[in-house]
Amino acid sequence: MHGAPALPPDFEHLPYANAQAPQGGRISYGMVGSFDSLNPFIIKGTAPRALWDEDWGNNLWESLMVRNRDEPFTLYGLLAESVTVPEDRSFVEFTLRPEARWADGEKVTPEDVVFSYELLKENGRPKGWYKRVASVEVTGERQVRFTFTEDADREIPLIVALSPIFPKHAVSAESFSQSSLEPLLGSGPYEVAEVRPGTSITLRKRDDYWGADLPVKRGFDNFEEIRLEYFRDANTHFEAFKKGIFDYHPEGDPGRWESGYQFPAVEEGRVKLEAFQTGVPKGMNAFIFNTRRQVFADPKVREALTYFLDFEWLNENLFLGAYARTASFFEGSELSAVGRPASREEERLLAPYRDAVVPSVMDGSYQPPQSDGSGRDRANLRQGLTLLQEAGYRREGDRLVNEKTGAPLAFEILVMSREDERLALSYKSVLELVGIVVNVRQVDASQYWERLKSFDFDMIRFNYAFASLSPGSEQNFRWSSAAAEQQGSFNFAGAANPAIDAMIKALLSAKHRESFVAAVRALDRVLISGFYVVPLFHAPAEWVAYWTRLAHPKESSLYGAEPTSWWARR
């Protein structure tokens, strides 16, 4: 994306892979919830994560190029043997590898690439970058060219290169858009061996996989089988891990990390607890306001509600003090605006949007409200109530009501897990002290995700966990005005702010790292100032528990643990 690739043209393998890793065995993952589809590229249905996922592998389908997760954003060839991009990035042309094959033995062709773009554009999840492709054409026996519109950004060639490719001869546009448990043909290293609807799915390694010896594939896809098990709730899920039903468990509960692993398999050394350090932003874990709802339309109301979350009390009483408070959408990296006054370049970018950033965020002094840890800090309660009064609310009996309409200040927090329910109930207890009516509603995973897709909620807890050192077009999907109206997007907040759109455009058009960093920090300032979320917390490292029948390379990537490069002990 910026600068030159870190690896030479003749590199042998990615730095966090063991090219000599043993082959065979099985890795099992566990998930809470269910699934009713094997197509993760459409809005309908819920598909298993291990089919197409950067963390757990693009196991069935492949893209033209793949990330080196040890660099901010650099791609190397997979289906593509070579790539041509001019300085202005007005087009990108890929030359396919002659040996690339589908699982049925047919060659991967340029026509497949054109077909895949059109298929996803018409039938896939909405993506803003589709509109920035002016044309896609076959330019040779193994060549295909994407030409971009004048308003396309510099990241578009990389995003195109990461899109899944499907076989034109084996996938129909008509059936693609329908949720189905029939897997689509792919070119990846695995195929679906067994499906138990809603319960489990098993992938088996293909013995005729075409790309096993590519530099980007050496040391990956080491297991003969990948199994994904689903469980009804978080408790059942963890009990299954303790029994060895699945092997790999990223832990998100610090209390359990500190005290919940006192069972025989740990004491006997058959389960290992390991903290993997990461080099990427921590992500934004927060309660998210749906600003499409009238109750949260006023940013002053949203700001007021940040004063009623007592992080210090929550951290000490629920999480054993293990967490740190999140303040930035790019926490813990050079991309964060928190603690830094705006640079001249940021001031220039933000000049047309003077009201979009509050002074404390602009000068770098902003921090989320801090409390005395009592659970009912009086100073914070007073400040929040003052803001609500300025927003037109007054106390009437034991409730806050709107002065004009008489309607109570009331909303629902939608949760899926018991952990989220516990956190929401703690927040609710403080909100009710000041007269806000809150209902915490827990639903099953299928209903939860369906409601998120259609923005049918007041408030949710969500973790934008995928945080990159090179944020790009995914920011459009999360925060742009266009995404606010697109069902299935991750703009859960309904943010529709010209300043956000402009900062995203600036970061996508930046040619040098310095101007890119300035644009991301400016975006951070606008997002913080919009009070779209109540920031929560982050872990200091990535916690992983795993059965020692698995092994992993000595080096991990910038993103932490990479189970796609692990292997089974013999």
**What's the length of the chain?**
570
Residue 419 parent element (H or E): helix 418-433
pLDDT of residue 542: 92
Q: Rounded to an integer, what is the distance from CA 213 to the centroid of its chain?
A: 29
What number of other Cβ atoms are within 10 A of residue 82's Cβ? 12
Token couple for 334: 């050079």
Mean pLDDT value of segment 482-500 = 95
Q: Is the dihedral of CA 177, 180, 185, 187 positive or negative?
A: positive
Q: What is the pLDDT of residues 275-330, one digit of tens each?
A: 998 888 998 999 999 999 999 999 999 999 999 999 999 999 988 888 999 999 99
- Res. 467: pLDDT tops 80: no
Query: Any idea what the Cα angle at residue 74 is, between residues 68 and 80, rounded to 5°?
Result: 85
Q: What is the pLDDT of residues 220-256, one digit of tens each?
A: 999 999 999 999 998 999 999 999 999 999 998 888 8
* Residues 459 and 411 sit within 8 Å (Cβ to Cβ): yes
Q: What is the pLDDT of residues 132-178, one digit of tens each?
A: 999 999 999 999 999 999 988 888 999 999 999 999 999 998 889 88
Q: What is the 8-class DSSP label of residue 355?
A: G
Q: Is 359 helix (H, G, I), strand (E, B) or coil?
A: helix
* Residues 179 and 446 sit within 8 Å (Cβ to Cβ): no
- Res. 19: pLDDT tops 90: yes
Q: Rounded to an integer, what is the distance from CA 292 to the centroid of its chain?
A: 22
- Res. 466: pLDDT tops 70: no
Name the phi and psi angles at 294, rounded to 5: -60, -35
